Amino acid sequence: MEHLQHLPGIGPKSAQRLALHILKRPEEEVKALAMALVEAKLQVGYCSVCGHLSAEPVCDICRAPNRDSKTICIVADSRDVIALEKTREYRGKYHVLGGLISPIDGIGPEQLSIQQLVRRVSQQKVEEAILAISPSVEGETTTLYVGHLLKPFTRVTRIAFGLPMGGDLEYADEVTLARALEGRRDLE
Amino acid sequence: MEHLQHLPGIGPKSAQRLALHILKRPEEEVKALAMALVEAKLQVGYCSVCGHLSAEPVCDICRAPNRDSKTICIVADSRDVIALEKTREYRGKYHVLGGLISPIDGIGPEQLSIQQLVRRVSQQKVEEAILAISPSVEGETTTLYVGHLLKPFTRVTRIAFGLPMGGDLEYADEVTLARALEGRRDLE
C-alpha cells in the first residue's frame, strides 16, 4: 500500500483497494504484473533524436522513411505525441521537450531538451517548427522562449487556439472566445 | 404546472416544484413575476438593423457611435451576441441570423435574416464580415452559404477553431487537435 500510494491519482483508499485486490489474485498473475513493470522500466528509454519514449535507441517515428523530416512538431511530453498521432493528420517528426519552463517549480530551460532541439533545427533542413504547447502560463513562456531561439533557423508556427469542435459559442469561456475572434481567418 | 412544463429545461417534476413554490409565496410577489413576464414580452422586440433583442426599434449596439460599423460579426442567436460582448474585445457591430440552416428541421435560408444581411453588407461600407458560428453540421452549412453570398461585397473571415484556453493537449478530442494543427499560425 505504501508503494502504491506513490503512483499518480492513487490515494490511501485506492491503494488499499488495489493491495487487497492483488492479495486475492493467483500467484502467476501477480508475478506477471510485477515482471511487466520491471521489463517496461528496463526496456523503454528515450529516443536519442526526439526524446519520445522508445524501446529502441531511435524511435519508430524518427526512423519512419515516409514521414516528413522537414517539419518538427515540438511538444512538452510523450503523452502529447500520442494524442497528436491519434489525429492521423500529422506526417512530420516530433521533438519532446520533457516538460515546460516553470521557475516556481525550479524548472529552467537547461532542464529541458531545448539545446538538442536548437542543434537539430540548425543542423538539419527543417522548414517549419510547429509549437504544440498547451496555453498555460508555463506553456506560453516555453513557447515564446523556444520560438525566439528557433526563429533564426526556420519558420516557427504555433497551433491554433479557439473554439473546440462541437463547442457552442454560448458556453465558451471569455478568453477562448476572445482568442477565437483574434485568430479569425479568411473563409476559403 | 401544464404551462410551466413548456419552458426549456423544465420537466414535470421541476414544474411541480415551481408551482408549489409559487403557491407558498405572497400574492404581490407572484403578481410582480407575472407582470415582469408580460412586460418583457411586450417591450422587447428585435432590432430592425441587426436582429438582436432590443427594447428600442434600433438596439444599443447599432446606435453606439463609438463602435466600428465597418466590421460586422454574424452570429446565429442573440445569446451569442451576449457571449461575445462579455469578452470586451469586439468593438464592431453584429448581425443575428435567428438560427442556422437545418434542412432536417425544415429551416432554410429564407427563414433566417440572410437577405437583410446581404442588403446591409452590399449597401454599406463593410470592410469585414466575421462569421462567428459554432462548428456543428448546421453551423458549417450556414457559414459556407452566408460566406458565399457575402464574398462579392466584402472580406469574409471566420473565428478560429482549436485548443480552448486552459485546455490540455492530452485531453483535447482528435478533431479539435487536427483543427488546431491545421489552423497553426506564424509565431509573432
Q: Looking at CA atoms only, how far is residue B158 from chain A in angstroms?
A: 5
pLDDT, chain A, mean: 92
- Is the pLDDT score of B188 beyond 80? no
Please check the confidence at residue A183 and state whether its pLDDT lies above 90: no
Q: So what's the pLDDT on residue B67?
A: 95
pLDDT tens column, A141-167: 999 999 999 999 999 999 999 988 877
Model pLDDT, residue A174 = 86
Q: Cβ of A160 and B184 within 8 Å?
A: yes
pLDDT score recorded for residue A177? 87
Burial class (CB in 10 A: 0-12, 13-18, 19+), B9: exposed
Nearest CA among A179, A120, A173 for reference residue A150: A120
Nearest to B147 among A179, A181, A187 (CB): A187
Which residues in chain A (148-187) have CB-CB distances under 8 A to chain B?
151, 155-170, 172-187
Q: pLDDT category, A77, cuts 50, 70, 90?
A: very high
In angstroms, the separation between the Cα of residue B187 and the nearest Cα of chain A is 5
* Ramachandran angles phi, psi of A102, nearest 5°: -150, 90
Provide mean pLDDT across the span B151-173: 88
Say whether B83 and A159 touch across the interface (CB within 8 A): no
A vs B, Cβ pairs < 8 A, gives 192
Confidence of residue B56 (pLDDT cuts 50, 70, 90): very high
Residue with cell string 527543417: A126
User: Taking CA atoms, what residue in A is nearest to B181?
Assistant: A159
- Taking residues B134-147, report their average pLDDT: 92
Least confident of A19-28, A170-179, B122-131: A170-179
**CA nearest neighbour of B130 among B121, A93, A52, A61:** B121
Q: Calculate mean pLDDT across residues A87-112.
A: 94
Residue A187 clears pLDDT 90, i.e. is over it: no
ipTM of the prediction: 0.72
In whole angstroms, give the CA distance from residue B59 to residue B8: 26
In this predicted structure, what is the pLDDT of residue B153? 95
Q: Which residue has the higher pLDDT, B174 or B67?
A: B67
* pLDDT the model gives residue B22: 93
Q: Coil, strand, or helix at residue B36? A: helix
Q: What is the pLDDT of residue B170?
A: 80
pTM: 0.77
Per the model's pLDDT, the better-predicted residue between A166 and A123 turns out to be: A123
**Pairing assessment for the beta strands A155-158 and A185-186 based on DSSP bridges:** unpaired
What phi and psi, each to the nearest 5 degrees, are found at residue A98?
85, 20
Q: What is the mean pLDDT of residues B136-159?
A: 94
Share of chain B above pLDDT 70, in %: 100
pLDDT one-digit tens code per residue, A8-34: 999 999 999 999 999 999 999 999 999
Predicted confidence at residue A171, as pLDDT, reads 81
Cell of A109: 530551460
pLDDT at B156: 95
Q: What pLDDT sits at residue A175?
A: 86
Asked if A133 has any chain B CB less than 8 Å from its own CB, the reply is yes
Residue B167 has pLDDT above 80, yes or no: no
B74 vs A92, A158, A185, B173, B187, CA distance in Å? 36, 27, 14, 27, 28
Distance CA A91, CA B123 (A): 46
